[in-house]
Amino acid sequence: MLKIEVILGENDVMAISEGLKKIGIGGLTVSKVRGRGKRPGPEIHASKGSEIFTPQFNDKYRIEAIIADAREDEIIGIIKENGRVGKIFVSQILRAVDIATGDEGESTI
């Protein structure tokens, strides 16, 4: 099993979610997060335009999904097709347990 984590702007969240839903990926976690990348964020004008500053952190969204190993390339393709900017991270999941049923492994996803 793999964990796909995508950090992206607000505008791409729904398109990626719908794209994943169309291929049968139903379980997603979406979180609003703050962070910074390599490039500075947009400048913000203070009241009455007298002062300009660049925030240290920008609002972003994180989409997380646990998937079967065999679907990695398919899912990354859908994310790239539906997103414009952001980052995709893939990591191994060693174990998954459904608390309610006691099921383990890929049957939990």
Q: List the CATH number of the domain containing 90.
A: 3.30.70.120
pLDDT for res 49? 62
pLDDT for res 39? 73
Buried/exposed code over 27-62 (b: 16+ C-beta within 10 A; e: otherwise): ebeeeeeeeeeeeeeeeeeeeeeeeeeeeeebebbb
- CA separation for the pair 104, 97 (Å, rounded): 5
Give the domain range for residue 84.
2-108
- CA separation for the pair 89, 49 (Å, rounded): 39
pLDDT for res 44? 72
Q: What is the pLDDT along the chain (109 residues), one digit of tens a residue?
A: 999 999 998 899 999 999 999 999 989 999 999 988 777 667 776 666 667 777 788 899 999 999 999 999 999 999 999 999 999 999 999 999 999 999 999 999 8
- CA separation for the pair 91, 4 (Å, rounded): 7
pTM over 0.75: yes
Domain total for the chain?
1
Phi, psi of 6, deg, nearest 5 = -120, 130
